[in-house]
Structure 1
Amino acid sequence: MSGLTAKGAATKARIVRTATDLILERGVGGMTLDEIRAGTATSKGQLFHYFPDGKRDLVAAIAEFQSGRVLEAQRPWLDQLDSWESWHGWRDAVIAHYRTLTHLHCSISALITELTPADPALAATVAAHADRWFDHLAAGVQKMRAQRRINPAADPHRLAMMVFTALQGGLLVMQAKNAIEPLEAALDGALLALESHRI
């Protein structure tokens, strides 16, 4: 929001928040700029002032906003992940966050899947936010190995990828089933697998 006045920054943030709820509820294809304008009481000129490339810029801003919101919901556990207690606390925080949502398109991965065929460059930008999530998990596994809480012979990157893949798969099935149980099962299975390397 560099170069914007305080009022302009607040207007842009309001547009992004409203658009996030719409796009996560309806998907990228189900959201129109006219709906965003109506939902935010924003003129066409204002919308293109804040988002010169229109929907493309808006989706990128939504991905950044939603990624920050999801990561924040997992704190402080996400920044620790240096004990079994913190891993289970993280699991509970993820479940608690998604349990409160009513959106069908509630994961960054869902946005990537929807965007990839139409706009690979934008999909890559959105995917970078998912990579940030993975990086937190990878850092946590590294800490666990360094503290000899897991077998030092284990591959930290592979273990983190196992947890992250289970997480993302759980989110996608949760979306398809419109139920939290697939996410719970996926995370419980991932943590059991991680704990199989426990010393």
Structure 2
Amino acid sequence: MTTAESHNGRRLTARGAKTRARIVSAAADLIYVQGVGATTLDDVLASSGVSKSQLYHHFDGKDALVRAVIDHVGERIIERERTALGHVSTIRGLRRWRDALVQNNALRHGAYGCALGSLAAEVSDHDALGRQALSRLFAEWERLLAGVLGRLQDSGNLPPEASIEHLATGVMAALQGGYLLAQTKRDITPMATSLDMALAHIERLSTD
């Protein structure tokens, strides 16, 4: 389904698309703070200012709305990461990427964690379609990291035998684990530490 269609497959008018986007944006904001389980459709109605009939015109239930939120949040994060990582080709550039993420998370003292990671924790075991969408988004994020590492390898700053895919997965795991620990401690130090360790490993490979 695209954002130009309702759940019954009918093409939306410009006004209808705007209403749908307002519903999804309101739901995304609520879910980020409250979580999927604690966010009700009544909460979304109150926050978005739409009627129940309007909501059900666009979504046949909460699961469908949550999937739209996954797409909305994922698109925003992947676009941010494309901008941040698209032209990075040095260890220094990777460290600047790390610094920006840590500093942004520090503004909330680690609260709420990664928007995509939080959705994955709540949705993956209960909604196969939602899990598949999240898996695709994380795979795209890892591909962006792998692109950076591939450029390092092409320039001779990583040995040819280094597994770009494995390194990208390791950096992603360090990032998501760091988000989670920072969230529980309300302190971004674990996030900074985990990313530092992952990047230090890449730097050692580069030096070797």
TM-score, length-normalised on structure 2?
0.86
Q: Does 1:88 align with 2:95?
A: yes
For 2:52, which of 30, 39, 44 is the aligned residue? 44
Unaligned stretches of 5+ residues in structure 2: 5-10
Q: In 2, Cα distance between the equivalents of 1:96 and 1:70?
A: 16
Q: In 2, Cα distance between the equivalents of 1:15 and 1:115?
A: 19
- Per the TM alignment, residue 39 of structure 1 is displaced from its structure 2 partner at its CA by 0.7
The residue that corresponds to 2:153 in the other structure is 145
The correspondence of residues 1-199 of structure 1 with structure 2, limited to 5 A, is: 1-2=3-4, 3-52=11-60, 54-74=61-81, 76-101=83-108, 104=112, 106-199=114-207
User: Could you report, residue by residue, the CA deviation over 1:159-190 in whole angstroms, capped at 9, with x for unpaired residues?
Assistant: 11111110111111122223222211111111
User: Could you report, residue by residue, the CA deviation over 1:117-147 in whole angstroms, capped at 9, with x for unpaired residues?
Assistant: 3223322222221221111111211111111
Given residue 171 of structure 2, which amino acid in structure 1 is its aligned partner? V
Q: In 2, Cα distance between the equivalents of 1:105 and 1:177?
A: 11
Q: In 1, Cα distance between the equivalents of 2:175 and 2:114?
A: 13
Q: In 2, Cα distance between the equivalents of 1:76 and 1:120?
A: 30
- Per the TM alignment, residue 103 of structure 1 is displaced from its structure 2 partner at its CA by 5.0
Identity score, percent: 34
Moved over 4 A (4+): none
Distance change in 2, residues 1:76/1:106 (3 Å): closer
- Per the TM alignment, residue 71 of structure 1 is displaced from its structure 2 partner at its CA by 3.1
Given residue 65 of structure 1, which amino acid in structure 2 is its aligned partner? H
Q: In 1, Cα distance between the equivalents of 2:47 and 2:111?
A: 17
Distance change in 2, residues 1:100/1:67 (3 Å): farther
Unaligned stretches of 5+ residues in structure 1: none
The 8 Å contact of residues 109 and 127 in structure 1, kept in 2 or not, is answered as no
